[in-house]
Amino acid sequence: MQDSSSPGPAGTFDPWVEVIGDAVRHNVAELHRYAGRPLLAVTKNNANGIGIAQVGPILDSMDEIFGLAVVRVREALALREAGVTKPILMMAHVAGEEAEKLIGLGVRLSPFHDDAAEQFADLARRTGGPVPVHVFVDSGMNRIGMPYERAADWVADLAGSDAVSIEGAYTMFSGAIRDGDVFDLEHLRRFLAVIAEVRDRGIDPGLLHGAPSDQLMRSPEVNVLDLIRPGGAIYGLNEYRTDPAGAPIMDLRPVFRLRARIVRVEQLQTGEGVSFHHRYRAERPTWVATIPVGHTDGYPKDAAGNVQALVGERLYPVVGLVSSNHTIIEVGEEATVAVGDIATLVGPDREEITPIAVARRTGLARDYWVMTKLNPLLARTVL
């Protein structure tokens, strides 16, 4: 019953994540069609749990992708190590030595401190030239960025420095609803006011961007900048397939499978239980199988009694208890599976095991909470 079309990593019974390259490419094409703009693809958080070293090269090969964005130094390094050649934006503050390394790799930095001109003058001296940056304007998120009230003077100060080359400017949207109004529109107004003042001073702010997946779908009015900056929609998150009224707007597809080979098949006698606490006991002689996947791998701990796993063409109920490293399925009166068979616990192959179905049936509500919890140490393969 081995799935010969996708045999997985050879020589191991460790679980793995399959990255479905065609689905990633399809979702990017859908986003580009919908927004009509190039993507600055957000690959932070290990590409939403999918695997940054696997997703990065897929995105890098696409004409619709302007560049990639991250929030951790290690993420930027991993993209370059994986062969990504397109621009990478670091959307976070970094230490001096880290900044030097990133600049050497062509990573764009995001200044937002009052003393940025001084910081970058020192960096430029050490790296031998002006540092390419995207200035980060805080338009009301009040989390990170240069506050919009004093941003224009600050950008002008940076632009007047030989140490900095401004290639872009961006902001972040909160998604807040205040007094019945969508605050994203106020974010946009504030940001564009800063940009207008900067341009009035003869300064080119470069490429403008701000809209992540949520704002593209919920507040399409913000989709007026040069680039869109989606993350979750690239990875097929269900909530971005429809508009606020529930009307379909994009055909986004799941981009991964969580899989493992069965390691044990045994028959329980009537009354016998499995796993901790014996939450499942056989009512008759019943075959069960052990899959070496647990909640530390990212499989929801409440899967038992709520979802199924796919082996071959058949779905089997998950029973007992999902422990740190093991999941048990009820096979039935006949031993219809064998050691070595591939089980798919999450994936697009059947509606019952899609990421959103698994999330809803285990009380997680969003497929985001399945995808982003995939253990980064699991092997990844790209199909």
Residue 170 lies in a domain: yes
Q: What's the pLDDT score for residue 5?
A: 61
pLDDT tens-place string over residues 318-369: 999 999 999 999 999 999 999 999 999 999 999 999 999 999 999 999 999 9
**Residues 260, 228 share a domain:** no
Residue 248 lies in a domain: no
**Residues 271, 368 share a domain:** yes
* Token output for 332: 């039935």
Of residues 218 and 94, more confidence is placed in 94
State yes or no: pLDDT of 26 exceeds 50. yes
Query: How far is CA 286 from each of CA 258, 262, 270, 346, rounded to the nearest angstrom?
Result: 26, 17, 8, 24
What is the rounded distance in angstroms from the CA atom of residue 272 to the CA atom of residue 278? 8
Q: Closest by alpha carbon to 164, among 208, 193, 196, 205?
A: 205
State yes or no: pLDDT of 127 exceeds 90. yes
pLDDT tens-place string over residues 190-213: 999 999 999 999 999 999 999 999
**Of 236, 264, 281, which residue constitutes the final position of a domain?**
236
What is the rounded distance in angstroms from the CA atom of residue 151 to the CA atom of residue 58? 36
Positive or negative, the Cα torsion across 5, 9, 14, 19? Answer: negative
Output the DSSP codes for 311-372: ETTEEEEEES---SS-EEEEEESS----TT-EEEEESSSSGGGSHHHHHHHTT--STHHHHT
In 3-state terms, what secondary structure has residue 296? helix
Contact 363/322 with Cβ under 8 angstroms? no
Residue 280 lies in a domain: yes
pLDDT tens-place string over residues 46-95: 999 999 999 999 999 999 999 999 999 999 999 999 999 999 999 999 99
Residue 148 lies in a domain: yes
What is the rounded distance in angstroms from the CA atom of residue 135 to the CA atom of residue 113? 10
What is the rounded distance in angstroms from the CA atom of residue 281 to the CA atom of residue 328? 12
Q: Closest by alpha carbon to 265, among 361, 207, 336, 197?
A: 336
State yes or no: pLDDT of 10 exceeds 70. yes
Q: What's the pLDDT score for residue 3?
A: 42
State yes or no: pLDDT of 218 exceeds 90. no
* Gap between the terminal Cα atoms of the chain: 20
CA atoms within 13 A on the CB side of 334: 1
**Residues 289, 212 share a domain:** no
- Amino acid letter, 52: I
State yes or no: pLDDT of 175 exceeds 80. yes
Domain that holds residue 83: 21-236
What is the rounded distance in angstroms from the CA atom of residue 207 to the CA atom of residue 188? 15
As for how many domains the chain has, the answer is 2
Residue 2 lies in a domain: no
For residue 290, the tally of other CB atoms under 10 A from its CB is 21
**Residues 337, 208 share a domain:** no
| Residue at token pair 């403008």 | 208
What CATH number does the domain containing 318 carry?
A: 2.40.37.10
**pLDDT grade, residue 245 (50/70/90)?**
confident
Contact 184/215 with Cβ under 8 angstroms? yes
**Residues 110, 150 share a domain:** yes
**Residues 174, 202 share a domain:** yes
Average pLDDT over residues 307-312: 98
**Residues 172, 135 share a domain:** yes
**pLDDT grade, residue 243 (50/70/90)?**
confident
For residue 126, the tally of other CB atoms under 10 A from its CB is 13
Residue 9 lies in a domain: no
**Residues 295, 147 share a domain:** no
**Of 174, 207, 236, which residue constitutes the final position of a domain?**
236
- Amino acid letter, 177: I
CA angle 114, 116, 119 (to 5 degrees): 130
Between strands 107-108 and 88-90, the pairing is parallel
Task: Annotate 127-148 with b (16+ C-beta within 10 A) or e (fewer).
Answer: beeebbbbbbbbbbbeeebbeb
**pLDDT grade, residue 137 (50/70/90)?**
very high
Taking each helix axis from N to C terminus, what angle separates 184-200 and 151-159, rounded to the nearest 10 degrees? 40
What is the rounded distance in angstroms from the CA atom of residue 373 to the CA atom of residue 48? 9
**Of 208, 236, 264, which residue constitutes the final position of a domain?**
236
CA angle 40, 51, 71 (to 5 degrees): 50
**Residues 193, 123 share a domain:** yes
Residue 295 lies in a domain: yes
Q: What percent of the chain has pLDDT over 90?
A: 91
pLDDT tens-place string over residues 155-167: 999 999 999 999 9
Q: What's the pLDDT score for residue 2?
A: 38
**Residues 57, 164 share a domain:** yes
Residue 33 lies in a domain: yes
**Residues 221, 284 share a domain:** no
Average pLDDT of the chain is: 95
**Residues 145, 216 share a domain:** yes
With a CB cutoff of 8 Å and minimum separation 6, the contacts of 257 are 6, 17, 18, 20, 344, 346, 347, 348, 349
What CATH number does the domain containing 217 carry?
A: 3.20.20.10
* Token output for 247: 């009307």
What is the rounded distance in angstroms from the CA atom of residue 112 to the CA atom of residue 110? 7
